[in-house]
Amino acid sequence: MPIVVSKTTSHCLIYLMRFGTLKSVMVMSRQKREQRQRYLKARVAMALYSEYGRVPKESEIDEVYHLTRVLYKAVLGTHILRKQQKHTGQLPLF
């Protein structure tokens, strides 16, 4: 036997369902971001191990990890800027 629900109650239920879905998507994206960061740190640690021939210290890994992220953002920012200049017809000066 179907349950009769008022219109406002159904709107509230739909809102809660959407919010629950949004919340679960946000949690999954945060977990994915954290997983990518751990993976990058592991790759940095392996590269340092390969370069130095010894297990790198946690401070060395963190230092190179942050430098890697800064350089990535700098290069990505340059790429986006160049794309915008190309779109607007500006010639780069470099």
Indicate whether 1 belongs to any domain.
no
Nearest to 45 by CA among 70, 68, 64, 32: 64
Indicate whether 12 belongs to any domain.
yes
How many domains does the chain fold into? Answer: 1
* Overall residue count recorded for the chain in this entry: 94
pLDDT of the residue at 18: 57
Indicate whether 2 belongs to any domain.
no
Indicate whether 94 belongs to any domain.
no
Indicate whether 18 belongs to any domain.
yes
pLDDT 10s digits, 24-70: 556 667 788 888 889 989 999 999 999 999 999 999 999 999 998 88
Tell me how far apart the alpha carbons of residues 58 and 44 are, in angstroms, rounded to a whole number: 11
Indicate whether 47 belongs to any domain.
yes
Q: What is the domain range of residue 37?
A: 7-88
pTM of the model: 0.55
Indicate whether 63 belongs to any domain.
yes
pLDDT of the residue at 71: 85
Cα dihedral: 81, 84, 85, 86 (round 10):
120
One-letter amino acid for residue 17 of the chain: M
Tell me how far apart the alpha carbons of residues 60 and 21 are, in angstroms, rounded to a whole number: 39
Indicate whether 93 belongs to any domain.
no
